[in-house]
Structure 1
Amino acid sequence: MIEKIFNKIWYTQKGEDYFFFYVLIRLSMLPITFIYYMIISLRRRAYEFNLLKTYNFKTPIIIVGNHTVGGSGKTPFCIWLANHLSAKGFKIGIVSSGYKSSSKIPQLVNDKSHPDIVGDEAVLMSKLTKANIVSCGNRVEATKVLINKFHNNIIIHDDGLQHLALGRKLEIILSKNNFNLDSYNAIGFINLLPSGPYRDLEYQLSPAFYQQRKKKENGFNNRIYAHGCISTINKNLRNSITNTVENIEAFKNKTVHLVSGIASVSEICASLKQNNINVIIHKYNDHYKFNGSEFDFNDSFPIFVTAKDHVKLYNLKNEKVWVINQELIINKDFIKKIDKKVDLII
């Protein structure tokens, strides 16, 4: 509920209902934003002047993150990146924060791990990659486990841009497809939390401006922006009980339930509606822990879930549940850019 309210406040555009009302709310939060800004600025300076330690590893660290709160497809992209680099012969490790998991120490993850202990994203990555995966809120300790136990030659972090204790060789920054980076850069301070969705003004710099700043670093820019380079298609669905696979067109002109505990379902809904599927949305908070009652409907309509949500439904036995198989489409030039950067950091 709170998530929906803030999304309305942050992302309502000029010309839409209540735009100026939401602007007033954002302005009223500026005193809190200023306090938040002072805290993160002092923290950043503490790392810059070595008052707080940054751990740098010989093994290249790649961080996949976003500059705003909320989902932007980090986990699906980490899965793609791990498989892409594995196909090139690299031994990949992945660190997941284990968000909303119960573990406080590094946990090795496999496809049988419990999502309540290691996190739903970690389990999903284990199922869909051959990477070694560790789940832990302490990213430095998780990285040490991967290096010492598996000797990975590239380690990917799912999120962690603001984890300044962790040194990194490359950052890949994703953004929401409906997020207008240029318009937000033009406004500035009002977009910092909680007045806006930005976690840090450091990440509000445009790609062109940031590249100018990084020229002094031997011409190597360690940050790649993926804005507009990634799209998602929903090609087919798998039945959660029978494992039968159906093309999405098999559900054309039908009504389905979409039950979701991810950050945003807007892209999924748009894709389903493009295929003339009538969608009844049941949206829960990101990383929501299902108890099974959410799938009790007094009808025979199919129930669609994402792969990320499905790993949490280990006790659910419902033949009406279908898992959406999402496929990332990555711009070829963007892939070349990633490969070039990886060659530089190895």
Structure 2
Amino acid sequence: MSVAQIIQDAWNKQAKWLVLLRPLSWLYKTGFVLNKSLFKSGLKHTYTAPVPVMVIGNITVGGSGKTPLLIQLVKYLQLQNIRAGVISRGYGGKGPFPAMVTLDSVPNTVGDEPCLIVQSTGVPMAVGPSRQASIELLLSQYELDLIISDDGLQHWALNRQLEWIVLDKNRGLGNQRLLPEGYLREPVQRLERSTVIEHAQNPQTNLHMHLQVGKPYLLNPAFDAEEIFDAKQDFYAVVGIGFPQRFYETLKSLSVQRFQCHEFPDHYDYEIDDIQFEDANPIITTEKDAVKLLPLLKQHPEFNRDIWVVPVEAILSDECYTLLNQQLKQLGLHKD
């Protein structure tokens, strides 16, 4: 098990030994505050795009439901005839950057989440470490009304007009400590200055979302006939996301009880040996992992094990859409 996985497991369990990392958390906070102050004072350059920018992010490390939320918002904006484009860091991709993301893009080049976003929505999207370069690339090819930044909440070099923070109440804030003692990227007080979307099955606020689980489908169907998903099978749960426990709960909601967990780091670059097992039991995984496994299967046509994919869709409260429409109207973007 890697150091990153050990710390991730300790965060989830709120292990007491994490207090030993407090000096590093103090160092992280010092650097964080200094960097932010340099941007606010103008000593570091900030970029203002020619169209409004909306950042969707979180203050925690690991999965919060941010990507399904972004996908749902993009679909809603498309229905409203608002021309949206998306930018992302493209984490896990090797570039060259900036790069446009297309239906033919692969995770090794542009990252796994960008591939999933474009495959789900067809939205114009560019990725790269420089958000400014990504925006300029997008605008050189498309006329857009709004830029949505996938993550980048702490990227102070990019000015933004809207911020939505996803707060996963199922996971919580852990020990509420900054990295690396805890999994907070910013102090909890940051939630007071942005729109917070509560991700929970039993929400306590009006602005909330939950993930609705869809029907599992085969990533590598062997026949043209429809395959039948049998929840009573033994599965290998292969997952490389920030908070794998959420996926295990999703499996239980599908009445999948017998599965062996095989966890990998977030944005993991799979190899074919990672999904080879001694018996013929099927694999079950997330859509985010599936976009990385599919190119691997194309490279290894001899692989014949079933891989089931569990899709999820973000369901937002009506109040989320009401607020979004108000915010868009303030930016002159709401189209009646």
**Where on the TM-score scale, by shorter chain, does this alignment land: which range?**
0.7 to 0.9
In 2, the alpha carbon distance for the partners of 1:267 and 1:28 equals 28
User: Compared with structure 1, are the counterparts of its residues 244 and 35 closer, same or farther at alpha carbon in structure 2 (3 Å cutoff)?
Assistant: farther
User: Compared with structure 1, are the counterparts of its residues 86 and 268 closer, same or farther at alpha carbon in structure 2 (3 Å cutoff)?
Assistant: same
Please state if 1:32 is matched with 2:33: no
User: In the alignment, which residue of structure 2 is the partner of 1:198?
Assistant: 184
User: In the alignment, which residue of structure 2 is the partner of 1:3?
Assistant: 4
Please state if 1:294 is matched with 2:274: yes
Give the deviation of 1:104 after TM superposition. Answer: 4.5
Which letter maps to 1:115? P
Structure 1 stretches of 4+ with a deviation exceeding 4 A read 243-247
Counterparts of 1:161-172 in structure 2 under 5 Å?
A: 161-172=153-164
**In 2, are the aligned partners of 1:95 and 1:142 still within 8 Å (CA)?**
yes
Give the deviation of 1:267 after TM superposition. Answer: 1.8
User: In the alignment, which residue of structure 2 is the partner of 1:133?
Assistant: 125
Which letter maps to 2:246? E
**In 2, are the aligned partners of 1:239 and 1:245 still within 8 Å (CA)?**
no
Give the deviation of 1:142 after TM superposition. Answer: 0.4
In 2, the alpha carbon distance for the partners of 1:264 and 1:126 equals 23
In 1, the alpha carbon distance for the partners of 2:49 and 2:149 equals 13
**In 1, are the aligned partners of 2:103 and 2:122 still within 8 Å (CA)?**
no
User: In the alignment, which residue of structure 1 is the partner of 2:203?
Assistant: none
User: In the alignment, which residue of structure 1 is the partner of 2:318?
Assistant: 332
In 2, the alpha carbon distance for the partners of 1:245 and 1:5 equals 41
**In 1, are the aligned partners of 2:72 and 2:313 still within 8 Å (CA)?**
no
**In 1, are the aligned partners of 2:281 and 2:305 still within 8 Å (CA)?**
no
**In 1, are the aligned partners of 2:101 and 2:114 still within 8 Å (CA)?**
yes
In 2, the alpha carbon distance for the partners of 1:81 and 1:158 equals 12
In 1, the alpha carbon distance for the partners of 2:126 and 2:190 equals 32
SS of residue in 2 equivalent to 1:43: helix
Q: CA RMSD in A?
A: 2.1
SS of residue in 1 equivalent to 2:93: coil
**In 2, are the aligned partners of 1:91 and 1:154 still within 8 Å (CA)?**
yes
**In 1, are the aligned partners of 2:46 and 2:157 still within 8 Å (CA)?**
yes
In 2, the alpha carbon distance for the partners of 1:336 and 1:245 equals 40
User: In the alignment, which residue of structure 1 is the partner of 2:218?
Assistant: 239
TM-score, L = length of structure 1: 0.84
- In the comparison of the two structures, how many residue pairs are matched? 314
User: In the alignment, which residue of structure 2 is the partner of 1:217?
Assistant: none
In 1, the alpha carbon distance for the partners of 2:214 and 2:328 equals 30
User: In the alignment, which residue of structure 1 is the partner of 2:296?
Assistant: 315
User: In the alignment, which residue of structure 2 is the partner of 1:285?
Assistant: 265
User: Compared with structure 1, are the counterparts of its residues 245 and 225 closer, same or farther at alpha carbon in structure 2 (3 Å cutoff)?
Assistant: farther
User: Compared with structure 1, are the counterparts of its residues 179 and 126 closer, same or farther at alpha carbon in structure 2 (3 Å cutoff)?
Assistant: same
The answer for unaligned runs of 5 or more in structure 1 is 14-21, 186-190, 212-222
TM-score, L = length of structure 2: 0.86
User: Compared with structure 1, are the counterparts of its residues 295 and 12 closer, same or farther at alpha carbon in structure 2 (3 Å cutoff)?
Assistant: closer
1:80 corresponds, among 67, 72, 90, to 72
In 2, the alpha carbon distance for the partners of 1:246 and 1:341 equals 44
In 2, the alpha carbon distance for the partners of 1:265 and 1:302 equals 18
The answer for unaligned runs of 5 or more in structure 2 is 201-207
User: In the alignment, which residue of structure 2 is the partner of 1:271?
Assistant: 250
User: In the alignment, which residue of structure 1 is the partner of 2:204?
Assistant: none
In 1, the alpha carbon distance for the partners of 2:305 and 2:330 equals 49
SS of residue in 2 equivalent to 1:165: coil
SS of residue in 2 equivalent to 1:195: coil
The answer to which structure, 1 or 2, has the higher relative contact order (CA under 8 A, 6+ apart) is: 2
User: Compared with structure 1, are the counterparts of its residues 96 and 246 closer, same or farther at alpha carbon in structure 2 (3 Å cutoff)?
Assistant: farther
Which string of whole-angstrom CA distances, capped at 9 and with x for unpartnered residues, describes residues 77-136 of structure 1? 211111111111011111121112111521011011121111111111111112101011
In 2, the alpha carbon distance for the partners of 1:104 and 1:160 equals 20
Please state if 1:225 is matched with 2:196: yes
**In 1, are the aligned partners of 2:88 and 2:114 still within 8 Å (CA)?**
yes
**In 2, are the aligned partners of 1:240 and 1:319 still within 8 Å (CA)?**
no
User: Compared with structure 1, are the counterparts of its residues 32 and 184 closer, same or farther at alpha carbon in structure 2 (3 Å cutoff)?
Assistant: closer
SS of residue in 2 equivalent to 1:175: strand
User: In the alignment, which residue of structure 2 is the partner of 1:256?
Assistant: 235
User: Compared with structure 1, are the counterparts of its residues 9 and 283 closer, same or farther at alpha carbon in structure 2 (3 Å cutoff)?
Assistant: closer
Which letter maps to 2:76? H
